[in-house]
Structure 1
Amino acid sequence: MASAGVAEPQPGREARRAGRRWLRDLARPVRGRVVATVLCGAAGGLAVIAQALLIAHLVAAVAVDGAGPAALWQPMLLLVLVFLWRALCGWGSERLGIRTALAVKARLRREIRAHMAGLGPVRLRRHHSGGLASLLIEQVEALDGYFARYLPQTALAVLVPLAILATAFSVDWVVGLLFLVTGPLVPLFMALIGMGAEVLNERQFTALSRMSSHFLDRLRGLSTIRMFGRGAAEVAAIHEVAEDYRRGTMRLLRIAFLSSGVLEFFTAVSIGLVALYIGLNLLGMLDFGGTQQTLFTGLFLLLLAPEYFAPLRQLASHYHDRAAALGAAEGIRGFLQEPLPEAGGEAAPPGPPALLLRGVRLDYAGADEAEGETRTALAGADLQVAPGEHVALVGPSGGGKSSILALLAGFVAPTAGELRLGGCPAAALDLADWHGRIAWLGQQAHVLHGSLAENIALGDARPDPERLQVAARSAGVLDFARDLPQGLDTVVGENGLGLSGGQAQRVALARALYRPADLYLLDEPTARLDAATEARVLAVLRTAAAGRTLVVATHSPAVAAMADRVIPVAGGRCGAAIAADGTQGAGG
């Protein structure tokens, strides 16, 4: 992402324009809430005119007419009611604005989570989990001020000053002209100074995402870092990254204070000009067009002067909310625009599915996707699996076994070639229905924070206790769960904290066995298991997968022996033409 100054190349300006359009699109579903916020604020703004009128009347009545308390109680009561009305409108406008921002953020977070689910686990590998967490939390949260305060204030900064301007012209055209000339200076300088703040905010959100990813990487690899004596160096590196972020934040604050100082200066000069004119007019030293001020009109206009600039000053104070939102919009919009796999609506026929790969090529985006860098995982893979057949994919690591399983699961679409799942073209398949018919075990056994029972019955809102016990017993989970304080109800930490690698593998396998499925896709299902446990698990797996289609990627001879057919996979190709050692056969 470009991060130059104001004289930035065209793509940077185009990106910011696109960000502004995207923010406006986000506001459309909550337009009614925004209008209600503006109307509430405008009602409070109109109360300002009534407030100034009553105060000027009371002072003039006492100072000029010598009115007593009996003649003042009615305007005093009205003034109290105006104060209360203005406070109520301010409270209502703030509350409506906050609710608007909450609605936008909740909807946007749902869209981001849905987009993550649509991309699937394979495509999400291109995004660092720390960056995704920053996107979902900090960057979405940065939109709060834009929708809660800035967006309604843009309308109030026009409506309220226009009402005061019309009032001023009706009383004294000179004061109205002073308002008309000096008022636009505030938004003008606000925009000029805010241009630099937008660019700096974009840089800060990029830096925050990178800092989150950097810190999470070091946190996950803490044991390795300590074992290799890199602890002090990594602490220093994290300190330097945090210091860079702090310096960027201070640059933003300098711009914010500069903008506030400039705006306050022009506001004070404008109000001073109005006060000078009114004072000289009251002294009889100025007379434009025969307009002669009285104490009532002079005080009334003088009280309106700061209120005329107040909405503009508030807009300026919220301008950093706009800059922060535009900075966050770049990352969020870019993520949401990442294309999803084509989703069809056709459900595969019931029963064990047939699977077909014919001349399939699969490319993954490389480290620099913008430069078109890709990595070829499969190059012309051919595989045909009959309904109910058990197939084992064997071969060296990196040969493409896991990529074939990802294709069969519908996590990725082939770059080229034909892929049919359950007799249907993969591009026309209902993926939600397809995923509901798969029992999946990935290469990395992931255990969520929660009880063992919740992990095994993941995705089942009403778990079947008997089926859960059978799955736990079959996968060998009960062997170690009996020694835990609460058995299967024992809570484990994030990433299976409290379990060994083999125990986490058994929990993941029990999860696959618990799920009723037509297709089993297993990636190294017996990794980290001892020989005795592996033999018992394979016997259970053979029974569970009977009459169902099974595709397993493995390095284990025992697992391969369980299959009806063994398919060698190497160099991104698979089939009988590939020898088990990964070399190309004569028929290739």
Structure 2
Amino acid sequence: MATIPSPLHLQRRGPDVPLHSSESLRAVVPVASETNAAYHTTMKSERRHAAAITLPAFLQILAALLWLPQAGLLAYAVGKIAEGAEIRDLVVISGLIFLVGLARTIIEASGHRIAFKAARTFLSRCRREATAALATSSPIDSSRATSGLVACVIGEQAEAIVPYLARYKPTRAKSAVVPLTILACILPLSWLAALILLFAGPIIPVFMALIGWRAKAASEAQLSQAGSMNGFLLDRLRGLRSIRTLGAVDLTAKRLRADADSLSARTMAVLRIAFLSSAVLELFAAIGVAMTAVYIGFHLLGALEFGAWGAKLSLSQGLFILLLAPAFFDPLRELSAVWHDKAAGDAAIEALDRLANSGVPLATQTGSVSLGSENAGPLAVHVEQLGFSHIGSSDPVFTALDLSIAPGEHVAIIGSSGSGKSTLLALLAGLCAPASGAVRIADTAGKPLCLEAVRTRTGWIGQTPHIFAGSLSANVSLKRTGVGVDEISTALNIASLSGVATAQGHRPIGDGGSGISGGEALRLAVARAAVNTQAGLILADEPTAHLDHGTAAEVTESLLALAAGKTLIIATHDPVLATRMDRIIRLDAEEQS
């Protein structure tokens, strides 16, 4: 998983990160549609077919079948001892028993080790593919999974895939082969003993299947509750300052306690079902072994003459059947023990599928100008017959919007709340694909840029930039390659943060911006965009919202300094900021001025 950033990291980074960042979606997934296609063709087919772990299953089946010759040698040795043979005459048989047992132990241990290693490898691949699929979904999608849910599914719930593949898959294969093989060895000796086992054996899978349906539903409910609880806790931790201000600490604690109690109840329901499946198997296994032992004992005593094929069973034959009877139920017993692994594994796989299959994909744009273009000037924006609707909404945000912005032009997008200002900026940035129409970002020569070039040459400043725990310089550079001390210093000067940086020194900023003001956080977002010297298009979403007049003026001046020689598009309610632009576009009135 080291090669692909976490979806939590992508989500928490906030919309203020310039899209050219080496940690941006461009670095994760070049083309969204290709990654989604690769995910859907591999995750479902590989998980259920190619990931069956056939080699470990074969080794575990072989180890279980080696009990047949070992039991035969033991029964033969006991029969010889009963006939009066000397112990020294059984040295060869004892050596063979030891060697078969040693081989059985080595093969079984190897099977378990290979199965675990293969399961871990497969889990890592599933996580990488699920993370890549999440990275291709739009961050403005309202149905996008929360950070807490994503962390719970990928980090915690996905671990259930390991026991599902490493234990359940090989055990299921073993339970399908070993009992039938043992039955085939017993049948030539005693048809009655085989009939007893044949009657007791199939009842176990039937009851396990009935219990398993309920177990899967209980596991899904438990995993869903865990994800919801994690999401709620993470959301409240982020808003802890607001919770304290509003005096809602006790209310939040009560809600968290209720969620914890609900999770505990669902977990106990899963455990009860697991214990019930084990109890059912042990009951029928004990009945089957006991009935076989009673028959063999009375048959050897002469009380039951029938059940064998003509002749009476010898001591060695009867002991051989008795040794095989428990082994007949062992694979089924193991299957019962890992049956809840199947339910948890299936629930984890379906949770990963839901994360990967939901959401609005990122936009794709084809163009003739690639990343290697030397032109680093302002970019032109052309919108033709744009149509877009949010998922689950019957009212379209746009139906047939046309818009043209010249290179280097500064434009303010204004309108009432819900008119689509932020959505338009997201569509221009390629954060989601339009339902109809086209968005073209072109260079000064009018040639449309390819998707990678668009993201590299676009800077984004969001309403609520996320500030990471660390130094001011680290929050500006964001570990991007080619960003040194000089570049950071220039960006801080553009954002009017040099004085703040001097006062801050090496003192770290707290997570979420603790230690700096809201206006300084927004100017920090401007500095992040200023680091990108290739940016020819700056998109700013409500950069002065919720700021006092003095702070808003400082942010405005920083923004204008950043946008010098670049195309600037701002979505705002601030009339003062709007009048500083070259042109104002009203979305709600569909007028331009």
Q: Structure 2-normalised TM-score?
A: 0.82
Q: Judging changes above 3 Å, is the alpha-carbon distance between structure 1 residues 537 and 214 closer, same or farther for their aligned structure 2 residues?
A: closer
> 8 Å contact 1:475–1:509 — kept in the other structure?
yes
Match of 2:55 in 1: 36
Count of residue pairs the alignment pairs up: 541
Structure-2 separation of matches of 1:236 and 1:536 = 42
> 8 Å contact 2:389–2:398 — kept in the other structure?
yes
Structure 2 unmatched ranges of 5 or more: 1-39
CA-atom RMSD in angstroms: 3.1
% identical aligned pairs = 36
One-letter amino acid matched to 1:414: P
- Cα shift at 1:91: 2.1
Task: Say which SS state the counterpart of residue 143 (structure 1) adopts.
Answer: helix
Matched, 1:394 2:414: yes
Matched, 1:420 2:420: no
Structure-2 separation of matches of 1:194 and 1:378 = 48
Task: Say which SS state the counterpart of residue 494 (structure 1) adopts.
Answer: coil
Q: Judging changes above 3 Å, is the alpha-carbon distance between structure 1 residues 531 and 235 closer, same or farther for their aligned structure 2 residues?
A: closer
> 8 Å contact 1:568–1:576 — kept in the other structure?
yes
Match of 2:140 in 1: 122
1:464 alignment partner, one of 473, 484, 507: 484
Matched, 1:154 2:175: no
Task: Say which SS state the counterpart of residue 123 (structure 1) adopts.
Answer: coil
Match of 1:67 in 2: 86
Q: Structure 1-normalised TM-score?
A: 0.83
Structure-2 separation of matches of 1:374 and 1:224 = 34
> 8 Å contact 2:171–2:334 — kept in the other structure?
yes
Q: Judging changes above 3 Å, is the alpha-carbon distance between structure 1 residues 403 and 203 closer, same or farther for their aligned structure 2 residues?
A: same
Structure-1 separation of matches of 2:382 and 2:576 = 25
Structure-2 separation of matches of 1:549 and 1:65 = 102
Match of 2:152 in 1: 134
One-letter amino acid matched to 2:383: L
Indicate the larger mover: 352-361 or 552-561: 552-561
- Cα shift at 1:234: 2.9
- Cα shift at 1:155: 1.0
Task: Say which SS state the counterpart of residue 463 (structure 1) adopts.
Answer: coil
Q: Judging changes above 3 Å, is the alpha-carbon distance between structure 1 residues 320 and 539 closer, same or farther for their aligned structure 2 residues?
A: same
2:64 alignment partner, one of 42, 45, 67: 45
Matched, 1:332 2:352: yes
Matched, 1:505 2:525: no
Match of 1:56 in 2: 75
Structure-1 separation of matches of 2:120 and 2:266 = 28
- Cα shift at 1:113: 1.7
> 8 Å contact 1:357–1:383 — kept in the other structure?
yes
Q: Judging changes above 3 Å, is the alpha-carbon distance between structure 1 residues 448 and 229 closer, same or farther for their aligned structure 2 residues?
A: closer
Match of 2:222 in 1: 204
Indicate the larger mover: 219-228 or 274-283: 219-228
Structure-2 separation of matches of 1:126 and 1:511 = 25
1:64-103: CA deviation from partner (whole Å, max 9, x where unpaired): 33422x3333333333333332222232222222222222
1:363 alignment partner, one of 372, 389, 396: 389
1:376-434: CA deviation from partner (whole Å, max 9, x where unpaired): 4445543210123222223444443212111100112233444333289xxx9853442
1:173-216: CA deviation from partner (whole Å, max 9, x where unpaired): 43333333322121111111112112222222222222223333
1:309 alignment partner, one of 329, 333, 343: 329
Q: Judging changes above 3 Å, is the alpha-carbon distance between structure 1 residues 39 and 63 closer, same or farther for their aligned structure 2 residues?
A: same
Structure-2 separation of matches of 1:557 and 1:419 = 27
Match of 2:379 in 1: 353
Matched, 1:568 2:589: no
Structure-2 separation of matches of 1:74 and 1:462 = 74
Match of 1:300 in 2: 320
Of the two structures, which has the highest relative contact order with CA contacts closer than 8 Å and spacing of 6 or more?
2
Q: Judging changes above 3 Å, is the alpha-carbon distance between structure 1 residues 271 and 468 closer, same or farther for their aligned structure 2 residues?
A: same
Task: Say which SS state the counterpart of residue 301 (structure 1) adopts.
Answer: helix
Structure-1 separation of matches of 2:85 and 2:396 = 93
Q: Judging changes above 3 Å, is the alpha-carbon distance between structure 1 residues 72 and 411 closer, same or farther for their aligned structure 2 residues?
A: same
Structure-2 separation of matches of 1:423 and 1:475 = 26
Structure-2 separation of matches of 1:145 and 1:437 = 46
